[in-house]
Structure 1
Amino acid sequence: MGIQDNIPHAQSKPLEAAPEVPVSTIDVSRWWRYKNLRSMNLWMIIPLLSIFCQGFDGSMMNGLQSVSHWQSYFGTPKGATLGVFNAAYPLGGLVGVFLIAPAADRWGRRIGICLGAVITCLGAALQAGAKDIAMFTIARVFIGAGSVIVAGVGAPYITEIAYPTQRSTATALFLTFYSVGSIAAAWCTFGTFRIDGDASWRIPSALQGLPSLIQIIFIWFVPESPRWLVSKGRHEEALAMLVKYHGEGNPEDPVVKFEYQEITTTIEGEKAVAQSSFFGFLRELMTGPGNRKRTMIMIWAAICSQMSGNAFVSYYLSPILSSVGLKSDLQQTLINATSQMVSWFSAIYFATLPARLGRRTMFLWSLVFMWIVVICITAGSAEFAKDNSNKAAGYSVVVFLYLFSPAYNFGFNGNLGLYIPEILPFHLRTRGISFFYFVQFCFMILSTFAVPVGLESIQWRLYIVFVIWVVIEFAGVWVLFPETKGPSLEDVALIFDGPSKSKQMELDHDVEHQEVKDA
């Protein structure tokens, strides 16, 4: 008799409300005291590194624009040329999104991350050895493709293996590693800009592949997703994972029984409606009010994450600082490095808030904070443009550039990384995240290409566009985004689909199980 036999099969029951997670036999508030739970949480650092590369890229490109040797080697790129440099990264991302679901759903979350990490390492090697603009740009396409694969697999992976009551914090922490990557790149470029030679930009370019190399080596120590194992019919392995890491070896733990029943019921029920082809998936996204709402949320969230003014802070800090009189390599690289530290500290703290404040509340307040900050950046830049001797106006812009990242992080860092995997049912999760990244990278291309052109053409007046647009984003979030705080990962579907669809999926699963038993 296997361990699975200790867990009764899920019974059909009406789901009028999302059931609460039962009380465990272990004290999760002191999770570090339990060997297996502690081991899983520490190894979770490996998939958390999945977003590191994206943060490293934006900060590195900010830093390299302040490095004289990089500027001279590539002919001082600006305007459209600089836009192409930065847009190559999300262009690669558009290619990578089509590999997320095939790799993660067919071979598992660990192999999916490994595939993306290998591509990223290849891109970093090409970038470090670039001989000309074309080679540097192609390398950035590879890095964009690889980094979106690891990010697209890493987010649902963490959501699916985290302990239920720690899920919101663990998943929210995912995007905080974007800031960790930003800090690493910022201090790296700050440290290497003094090198008299090409090594001043080749070293940071090579280091972009280091976290991916770490993932390739250590991802095999992280437990596989029990939800993916169930989807492949490997129920014994899925239950063994839950018993070991969520029940500390106790198959009678109420949380383990609850999770296993929910996972098997939901995933087996979803198999009946899951679409295997890409076009079938797109058709399913537009079928039913619940999926249509999910689709609209993913599109609007992708737009908000890229079009709120963050592009000129993430990729074009150097020209903005130059526009307010801060032009030296030392000033720009130091501001880039220290601002990334502020961003990370805020991101870490804000990752603990979704479980208390709610997801929707944090999205809305984040947009309010960004709106205020962009207004202040616009006003300060306008005053400095009138009088270049007005140092107070220039320094005020710098202060609010420091504050922009915390304002953005409040709702669109950890909170966004939690919300998107959470609103998608298992059979749509990796493909849905692929769709989200596709839309996000489309708008990243638009913003990274348009911002340098706008800064060159209309200077500070470009910021006025974002002042107006953030108000529109706020209205969209207010109308579209429901609150998902509280329910288990499987029961978030009730918010979108209602109890009737969930009940039907359970009934379909019970009928299928009874037919197999009778046979």
Structure 2
Amino acid sequence: MRTAVSANPLQLDVRSHRKCLIICFFLTMGTFQYGLDYALVGGFLSMPGFLKVYGYYSPTLKKWNIDPTVQQLISSLMTIGTFVSSLLVGPLSSKFGRRHGLWFAAGLNAISTAIMLSTTSVAALYVARLILGVSVGWFFTFSQLYVQEAAPAHLRGVVFGFYQVMLSVGSIVGASVDFGTHNILSRRSYQIPLSIFFVAPTIQTIMIIFFPESPRWLMVQGEEEKAEKALRRLRNDNIDEHEFQAELNEIRGSTRDQLEQNKKWLFLEMWRGTNLRRTLLCLSVVCFHAANGSSWVNIYTTYFLTIAGVDNAFAMSVMITCIGLLGCLFSLAFTRYVDRRVVIIIGCSACALCQLFMAVVWTVHPGSKVAGKCVVAFISLFTFFYVAYSPTAWLVGGEIPNNQLRPFTYGIATALNFVGNWLGTFTAPYFINPAKLGWSAKYGYIWFGTNSLLVLFTIFFLPETRDRTLEEMHEMFENKVPTHKFKSYVCTGVEDYAAQGVAKADVMVERTPFQLEKEEMEHVEVRENETKGQPK
């Protein structure tokens, strides 16, 4: 049943939007690479076959180890690449669109993977990791921009669940393949897992050929007819014309308003007027992922468990990534029915407690088997809750900016998040590596504090956006609606646009096919004359 405050004119079910959901599923496949990389590289750092090439044998530890600096660079250069690529999303997306960005990402992925498979030079490995980071950043950001703008308002949460499913499946595949090859003492131990980097981008590249460009991006470019065709291709063929015209007119009318308000220098417009609030909120909520400690838990899980003396660290890593997938599937069940703010508050609170309990146990019983088991339990719970709420934070970050500024704002927000992740992965070895501070699980004290701050920020500053169209969000920010009134606010302007679309549909339905064909021919003739500078 439609809520009283929503201006979403579409049927609020799942079945009526199967076509769009399938398209969004394939568009999110690129995020498989992000999860795959985190799991694979974390495993490589504990593989004798990898450490023989890029590490050293430690007589003190009586096993293969890796220099902390090399460890930092291998892990963090990919993140630096994602930072650079995310900054470029705004200008590239404005010129080339979402689909071409994903094709660029696939090309760079192939180049970087080929280098990593063939080289034994640590310098070449560094270069490949940087290029891979650029690729992953574009996969990550362009796909999210597309699904934000393509999915119906009430299903955006479900679509972002697809993104997290892909990421979690990538992590499971990476951890599982590492587990299967980690005892191989040759280079094949890491070459076999690396070859998986070719799979998802190849499938996605082929499928994108058959999918339309984002209708909202086309509308921003002034290509209104192409935007209409793209939107129609995203909706089921049997969609009611009244619903379709109402949604189309919402997008058209609101986008025209946005284009009139923003000047030429879009990067500056992000920080002016009502856009400033939207920009700051977007940057903040997207950076939640870097501030809750997920970076060190994700990428160093296997290494951390090995150092902590946990038996079967590789098997435990696979189990933890599987628990993450369960968290993602769990989130799909409630994301349509639970407010965004509630999901984020519960998720950040649970992550804070997991980090705290893990640190306390290790403080009381450092290095014991009981402490090791508790660490595995709390890392598993942390992963479950983080993966369950993580898509919601990305989702809200993409919903807040307007159609024209979204790639710029979201790109910068993603870049800052990757900087935060880089700081987490770069500094973690100093805390957990026995050759440095050797804090092990006590590192969780720091992340307990940051997660607590995220909960407070959500309570006081983050507005509720569930089931709102992107055009509704624009109207509420333009009208300076207070944070705690977003949920009940009625968007009269967007409703007027939808009503005009319905009226247009009524006229279209009453016309005969001959009249429609004649009007279409006249419309085309007028556009051709205008192009020639001879208005009719």
Q: Is the contact between residue 288 and residue 393 of structure 2 (CA under 8 Å) also seen in structure 1? A: no
From 203, 220, 233, the counterpart of 1:231: 220
Instruction: Give distance in 2, aligned partners of 1:338 and 1:86.
Output: 22
Aligned to 2:387: 409
Q: What is aligned with 2:110?
A: 121
Which of 282, 287, 290 in structure 2 is aligned with 1:306?
Answer: 290
Q: Are the equivalent residues in 2 in contact too, given 1:56–1:184 (CA < 8 A)?
A: yes
One-letter amino acid of the counterpart of residue 308, structure 1: N
CA offset digits 1:436-456 (Å, max 9, x no partner):
111111111111101111223
Which residue, out of 388, 399, 423, partners 2:377?
Answer: 399
Question: How much does 1:342 deviate?
Answer: 0.9
- Partner Cα separation in structure 2 for residue 466 and residue 144 of structure 1: 25
User: 1:272: Cα distance to partner?
Assistant: 1.9
Per the alignment, residue 34 of structure 1 pairs with: none
Match of 1:294 among 273, 278, 281: 278
Residue in 2 aligned with 1:367? 348
Cα drift, residue 62 of structure 1: 1.4
Aligned to 1:269: 257
User: Aligned partners of 1:57 and 1:187: how far apart in 2?
Assistant: 13
For 1:148 and 1:297, the matched residues in 2 are separated by 21
Aligned to 2:453: 472
Q: Residues of 1 paired with 2:420 and 2:177: CA distance?
A: 28
CA-to-aligned-CA distance 1:338-395 (integer Å, 9 cap, x gap): 211110121122134333111111111111101111111112222332xx4x322211
Q: Does the 8 A contact of 1:93 with 1:145 survive in 2?
A: yes
Q: 1:347 to 1:272 in 2, by over 3 A?
A: same
Deviation at 1:93, TM superposition (A): 1.2
Q: Which runs of 5+ in 1 are unaligned?
A: 1-16, 32-36, 511-515
Paired letter, 1:315? I
Cross-structure match for 1:317: 301
The C-alpha deviation readout for 1:124-153, integer Å capped at 9, x for no partner, is 111222212111111111111011112111
In the alignment, does 2:310 pair up with 1:326?
Answer: yes
Q: Which residue of 1 aligns with 2:268?
A: 283
Task: Check if 1:20 corresponds to 2:19.
Answer: no
Alpha-carbon distance in structure 1 between the residues aligned to 2:306 and 2:32: 27
Indicate if the aligned counterparts of 1:67 and 1:200 stay in contact, CA closer than 8 A.
Answer: yes
Amino acid at match of 1:68: P
Provide the rounded CA distance (Å) in 2 between the counterparts of 1:130 and 1:54.
22
Larger displacement relative to structure 2 (161-170 or 135-144): 161-170
| AA partner of residue 371 (structure 1) | A
Structure 2 CA distance for aligned equivalents of residues 180 and 83 of structure 1: 25
Could you tell me which of 88, 96, 112 is aligned with 1:107? 96
Pair 248,323 (structure 1): closer, same or farther in 2 beyond 3 Å: same
Aligned residues of 1:120 and 1:142 also touching (Cα < 8 A) = yes
Q: Does 1:73 align with 2:53?
A: yes
Larger radius of gyration: 2
1:150 paired residue number: 139
Q: State the 1:206 CA deviation.
A: 2.6
Cα deviation per residue 1:6-47 (whole Å; 9 max; x = unaligned)?
Answer: xxxxxxxxxxx96522354xx94434xxxxx54443233221
Query: 8 Å contact 1:59–1:185 — kept in the other structure?
Result: yes
The answer to which of 235-244 and 117-126 deviates more is 235-244
Are the equivalent residues in 2 in contact too, given 1:40–1:222 (CA < 8 A)? Answer: no
- Asked if 1 retains the 8 angstrom alpha-carbon contact of 2:32 and 2:169, the reply is yes
Give the structure 2 partner of residue 197 of structure 1.
Answer: 186
Q: 1:416 to 1:468 in 2, by over 3 A?
A: closer
Are residues 308 and 346 of structure 1, via their aligned partners in 2, closer, same or farther at CA, if it must alter by over 3 Å?
same
- Specify the code of the residue in structure 1 equivalent to 2:66: P
Distance 1:234 1:282, change over 3 A: closer
Q: Is the 8 A contact 1:243 1:249 kept in 2?
A: no
Distance 1:18 1:431 in 2: 29
Query: What SS does the corresponding residue of 1:107 show, helix, strand or coil?
Result: helix
Following TM superposition, by how much is the alpha carbon of 1:60 offset from its aligned partner in structure 2, in angstroms?
Answer: 0.8
Residues 40 and 19 (structure 1 numbering): CA distance in 2 closer, same or farther, change over 3 Å? closer
Cα shift readout 1:201-237 (whole Å, capped 9, x = no counterpart): 0121232232122222221122221112222333223
Task: Give TM-score scaled by structure 1 length.
Answer: 0.85
1:131 aligned counterpart, secondary structure: coil
TM-superposed deviation, 1:503: 5.7
Question: Structure 1 residue 249: deviation in Å?
Answer: 4.7
8 Å Cα contact 1:40-1:223 kept in structure 2: no
Shift of 1:84: 1.6
CA distance in structure 1 between the aligned counterparts of 2:387 and 2:160, rounded to whole angstroms: 14
Shift in Å at residue 86 of structure 1? 0.7
Secondary structure of the corresponding residue to residue 483 of structure 1: coil
- Partners of 1:44 and 1:296 in 2: how far apart? 27
Residue of 239, 245, 253 corresponding to 1:257 = 245
Q: Deviation string for 1:78-122 (max 9, x for gaps)?
A: 433311211101111122123322332222221111111211221
Contact 1:63–1:332, Cα closer than 8 Å, also in 2 = no
How far has the Cα of 1:281 moved from its partner? 2.8
Secondary structure at 2:381's aligned position in 1? helix
- The amino acid that maps onto 1:49 is M
TM-score computed with the length of structure 2 as normaliser: 0.83
Contact (CA 8 Å) 1:363, 1:410: kept in 2 or not?
A: no
Q: Distance in 2 between matches of 1:229 and 1:282?
A: 20
Query: For residue 407 of structure 1, what is the amino acid of its counterpart?
Result: F
Q: Is the 8 A contact 1:354 1:485 kept in 2?
A: no
User: Which residue number in structure 1 is paired with residue 83 of structure 2?
Assistant: 94
Rounded Cα–Cα distance in structure 2 between residues aligned with 1:161 and 1:484: 17
The CA distance in 2 between the partners of 1:77 and 1:443, in whole Å, is 24
Do 2:20 and 2:236's aligned partners in 1 also have CA atoms closer than 8 Å?
no
